[in-house]
Chains A and B, each alone.
Chain A
Amino acid sequence: MSNLNNEALAGPLARIRLSRRSWFLIAALAIAVTPLVFQDSYWRTNLIICALNVMLAIGLDFILGYAGQLNLGHSAFYGIGAYASTLLIMQLGVPFWAAFVLAMALAGVAGMALSIFAVRLRGHYLAIASLGFAVIVHQVLINWISLTQGPLGIYAIRPPPPIALPGLPVISFGNPANMFYLVAGFALLFYLLLQQLVRSPIGDTLTAIREDEVSAASLGINFTVWKVFAFGVGSAIAGAAGAFYAAFVGTLVPDAFIITESFTILAMVIVGGMGTLIGPVWGAILLTLLPEMLRGFGDLRLVLYGLALTLVVLFMPGGIVQAAHILRARLGRLLVRPPTGAAQP
């Protein structure tokens, strides 16, 4: 169906096309308002976890959805970020924000290392290699007791230091609302960064690599460099999420970064719609908050993840984003009758 036909049918709905700036303002507004709506501390905790998951999901989407690299080890970078920042702060007395940046860098480097290592591997081999990498990282975290305290975990991790701006009350991050603003704010920032990259020729390059590496090389694209780049950026963002996670939860155990965590992030990306950037945001929000809302379901949460993932792949591989498009087209057709003599395909 040509675009022309679609537009004619979608009618007034097609004209509701908000500019990027409007969406940004809406998002910022939503973030600002949310803690005011959810005053309950249980919900505020969930919202922070939600924001962390959004960060993880968009990072993975950059690697998987755009560069086409099947990374099943994303939890490893999350863990590296969390442990790196925590150990830097508690063992070496590094100030929080410096540790934050270093943790991001370390996670990013780890991602690039995995990518360089796996550079000749396609599809399934890369999936297994990344899985193997995640298992190794997890086992190292458990077994290197002198460094990480092993399964006993690290306790009494402090939140980010309070910020004192002149003339305003001190912003303390022990307060969940402030912590939410911080994490969600960074999530929005990372989203914007990735969006800008994707809208630039880099986005075209990554898509080309995803579609056909050999073809991309024939156009001058050094796919190795770009795969490593995508991995580096995506895993650095996961590292940032890890640093925030540690500072928020206050305790750190290796089992928070078990490989199943990689699968749940993957589920968020796929259910949301991989390769769309906004899709994984919705996927993360949905898969974090929905199971909490159906509170009595406890253990069923993961069953729902598995079910959602399988059904989406089978019936709606483009995820929520695809469903939204279809819905919009159907709704458009309901509202507007095609003009007589309209062009038919």
Chain B
Amino acid sequence: MTPGASASEAASEGGALDSEGILFEASGLHKSFGGVRAVRDVSVKIPASGVFAIIGPNGAGKSTLLNLMSGLYQPDAGTMRFDGVDLVGLPAHRRVRLGLARTFQKIRLFRQLSVLDNVVAGFHVHHAIPAWQYVVHAGAFARDHVRCRDEALALLAFVGLERRASVPAASLAYGEQRMLELARALATRPRLLLIDEPAAGLNAAEVEKLLDRIVALRARRVAVVVVEHNMDLVMQVADHVLVMDYGQVLFEGSPAEVQKSPAVIAAYLGA
């Protein structure tokens, strides 16, 4: 497998793409900052279920790619479609309504809000309240309020934070904050969740717990894209792996194939 081979060649060589269909596809993405070409001619197809990992040495362009997918940056060139909808030019907040959510590498919680309120904030796109009831709080308002609380508590239980619901988010330990971010992103009821370098700063036990939750997402029919620069972590849960280097796609395939690829090994060792 030569470096820079396209995704389709990789797929035909035996990468285990899920047969349920492609949820997100991008083709020929380019993004530069000043003179630096962070992402060059990247094409990717992400299936509707399973865990898709994007790995590569530092500076490979993984986070940039994620930011292009979530809408934080707009591409200089290329196309992107989510479930058939053209994403190019669509701002980040609109993509959430389509079912695309993300977490951040640097934790960005609403520090002054409680743990529960952070998750409730994630229900923004799912409220079912007629406009006038925002002023006069009647039936639909009350029902929505109860439903959001219950769902938020359930999500907190999913990440193991249900006992910390009323605590201010700033007082959580770092590992707990990561899990809260996960719960909050899940509140948007995504079909595809982008997770940016989740293991950074976590100890071994916290990483285990995180990976466990990511696997559990499969049962909830949430496809996951994980960006990580630590290869070992991701190998445990990924169904399919995309390796990036210098802003380009280096290799694509199953975890096993990636581990054996000489090009990938060279990229990591040489970096």
Contact = CB atoms under 8 A, between A and B. Distances in A.
A219 B108 contact: no
Q: Is the interface of A mostly helix, strand, loop or mixed?
A: helix
Nearest to A2: B167
A74 B111 CA distance: 28
A302 interface: no
Chain B interface extent, by class: 35 or more
Interface in B95-118: 96-97, 101-104, 108-113, 117
B96 A205 contact: no
Contact of B108 (A204, A212, A220, A223): A212
A138 B94 CA distance: 39
B187 interface: yes
B124 A205 contact: yes
Contact of A217 (B91, B122, B136): B91
A214 interface: yes
Contacts of A3: 166
B50 to A, nearest CB: 22
A200 B129 contact: yes
A225 to B, nearest CB: 9
B117 A200 contact: no
Interface in B182-207: 184-185, 187-188
B92 A218 contact: yes
A215 B135 contact: no
A193 interface: yes
A205 B184 CA distance: 13
A202 B94 CA distance: 18
A207 B113 contact: yes
Contact of A200 (B70, B101, B141): B141
A46 B34 CA distance: 59
Contacts of A214: 72, 104, 108
A211 B110 contact: yes
B113 A211 contact: yes
B93 interface: yes
Contacts of B108: 212, 214-215, 218
Interface of A: 2-3, 193, 196-197, 199-202, 204-205, 207-208, 211-212, 214-223
8 contacts: A200-B137, A200-B141, A204-B124, A208-B124, A219-B122, A219-B184, A220-B93, A220-B96
